[in-house]
Amino acid sequence: MTSKLFTPITLGPHSYANRIAIAPMAQYSAVDGNPTDWHLIHWGTLATSGAGLVMIEATAVEADGRPTAGDIGLYSDDNEAQLARVLASIRAYAPAKFGIQLFHGGRKSSTAIHWLGGQPILPEDGGWPTLAPSAIAFGNGPVPRAAEPADLTRIRAAFANAARRAVKAGFDLIELHAAHGYLLHQFLSPISNRRTDAYGGTLENRLRFPLEVFEAVRDAAPGVTLGVRLTGSDWIDGGITPDEASAFARALKERGCHYVDVSSGALDPSQKVVVGPGYQVAFAEQVKREAGIPVRAVGLIVTPEQAEDIVASGKADLIAIARAALANPRWPWDAAHVLGAKLDIAPQYQRAASGVWPGWAMLSLKAAAE
């Protein structure tokens, strides 16, 4: 039987070799928003993994929108040039399509890198001012400034400008990050959005700014796949529900969005997340059913059999792996071997391919024994 996970899929103007994506994973290793040779190594490794799509880490559209000083940005000519340099170097050797995730940290900006404590950094200590839909702090962080109309105009333009730069840098796909408690998610959720103007209150109003940003990016970046990472649940009473996630996805589809990636949580420390294998897949399944848009599922998708079931059963159209790819950068090789699929492998690595290297049989015996 042919593996559904390893069949191609078309999203907007581009086709992807299979249904496996490498999810964005922050490396906290940028300098002034610029990627470094660490990113060249990291993304290059993932681009030779066999995944059809490699998403680079969340990329800030303003310097003040970076959660940490180590986050990548796409708000300057230098940012654009360095991203283009790294991408061109990898593309010379790897066939994977590349996507970029654009975002603004909002009230979750100006914090220390997590391995340095991850605590908020105040402006007087070298941090930068934060803003949000409403003046409500994230956890023990500083109270952000409530965004004014001029801020919304500037940020919409920043997303559009970053999208134009992404196209020039050579990305195939642009994804807006409207989850994980960042600015667009903050507008979507009634937990963080207490505005009384046209951008707060009803679901229609809370959708308004994220949809305006999507439209600005769509108009600025023709010819690429356009997607949105949204949240299926805030995991908090009174927060975003799967029904609201579906409504957002429907509105995005009407505006030309090609797919959504359904995640959850990270808006507020009071969340009560129930974590387990594929714990967010049900959200993706509901959004796919109710919005009729291609959906990517994420969240503790670890084994090839699990990934195959999600796609083959129609729960989602694609899956994304993150830490599974850090633990095993050749995860798609393993999945192809287990599922009996053919995978294009760089000629430099073909002597280690399944069906060529006899060690695969030994690995399979070891896995069966365990």
**Residues in CB range of 196: below 8 A, 6 or more apart:** none
Question: Distance between CA 185 and CA 101 in Å, rounded?
Answer: 14
**Contact between 278 and 230 (Cβ < 8 Å):** no
User: Is 182 one of the catalytic residues?
Assistant: yes
Phi, psi of 235 (to 5 degrees): 60, 30
Active-site hit among 75, 182, 199, 259: 182
Question: Distance between CA 361 and CA 64 in Å, rounded?
Answer: 52
Strands 225-231 vs 259-263: parallel, antiparallel or unpaired? parallel
Residue with tokens 């699929």: 341
- Burial profile 85-96: b = 16 or more Cβ within 10 angstroms, e = fewer: ebbeebeeebeb
Q: Angle at Cα 227 formed by Cα 226 and Cα 232, nearest 5°?
A: 165
Question: Distance between CA 127 and CA 130 in Å, rounded?
Answer: 9
Question: Distance between CA 124 and CA 127 in Å, rounded?
Answer: 7
Question: Distance between CA 194 and CA 200 in Å, rounded?
Answer: 6
State the catalytic residues. Answer: 182
